[in-house]
Amino acid sequence: MVYSVSDLILIACGYLFFLFMVAWITERGWLPARWVRHPAVYVFSLGVYASAWAVYGSVGYAYQYGYNFLSYFLGISGNTCCKIYNTTYRRFNFCSWLVLDW
């Protein structure tokens, strides 16, 4: 699928218009507060934000360093697994030291 420059500009402007309309509708109070303040809204918005930065960052890092970019993801995954393990079993071990000190 090939897009022209004018198509890309139109899509980008439409997307920004949609985001501003959602923000405007939310600010006006047209959406119920229980929807706006629901924890899932925060989780999804942080997920979109973090995934966008992760994708753009990892692509640039992979381009620059090759397969060494995998160390970034393996480190984050290991840290997350240690944190889940420590909160589940409430044990202090190497994972606890790693999570608490880093």
pLDDT tens digits along 62-91: 788 887 777 766 766 666 666 666 666 665
Same structural domain for residues 24 and 58? no
Number of domains in the chain: 2
User: Does residue 17 sit in the same domain as residue 32?
Assistant: yes
Predicted TM-score (pTM) of this structure: 0.44
pLDDT in tens, 9-49: 999 899 889 989 988 998 898 988 888 888 888 777 777 77
Of the chain, the end-to-end C-alpha distance in Å amounts to: 44
Would you give the DSSP letter of residue 3?
-
pLDDT at 31: 85
Q: For 3, phi and psi rounded to 5 degrees?
A: -110, 145
For residue 98, pLDDT beyond 60: no
43 and 55 both lie in a single domain: yes
Query: What is the residue range of 92's domain?
Result: 38-102
Question: Which burial class, exposed, middle or buried, applies to 14 when counting CB atoms under 10 A from its CB (0-12, 13-18, 19+)?
Answer: exposed
Residue 98 neighbours by CB under 8 Å, 6+ apart: 79, 82
